[in-house]
Structure 1
């Protein structure tokens, strides 16, 4: 990924240093990705370890919606903004169009609280949100 600067499997397959054909590498990558799962809490802890313990970072709560072919993709994302870069910590695919509700936002924040002990919470809570004001 670093070499080709892409996560596109078609771009990754040709750079494998083995004797297999590019198409075989592509199929291997597809099989790997099907079985691969991401533990969001592990990602969040890793990001948390890399950030300073106190702000200038800001927690963000955002919702994004787009179409991928005919599929509607609607995500609620709790992240951290640091030095102009937003990094997702936790996310939830919403099974509906439109804004998230209060219960969905609280559930995402609860995952943050479950992952980080209270002694790791910032002394102040800078939070930016664009996920809507609907309850």
Structure 2
């Protein structure tokens, strides 16, 4: 009987430790200067858990077939903050590393992207994953 009580206590402690620690929803951060490099950041789950109905964050890869039968890719990232300000970047035929990062995104990852204000050309993508991020539907 003592073994059963000890096992129950260990399970209870372990399950408590699994949910302990700091948790963060990454709501949309948007900084668009008059010129130079703009930045947007946030997470899908941060937007989904937000009480506002304006916020958006996304990145997508679109593939088109040209008349010559070759495939072209286009990266499109978009973020909108609670005030309705939009940040958009586009990159034709992005490097494979950008494509891989978009495919690796999970709903609780923090996505950050930068772009040139004058051309809207994407300059960087960053995926951040950590223990402090709120989990959604069992995603890791």
Q: TM-score normalized by structure 1? A: 0.28
Q: Which has the higher strand share?
A: 2
Bigger radius of gyration among the two: 2
Q: Which has the higher helix share?
A: 1
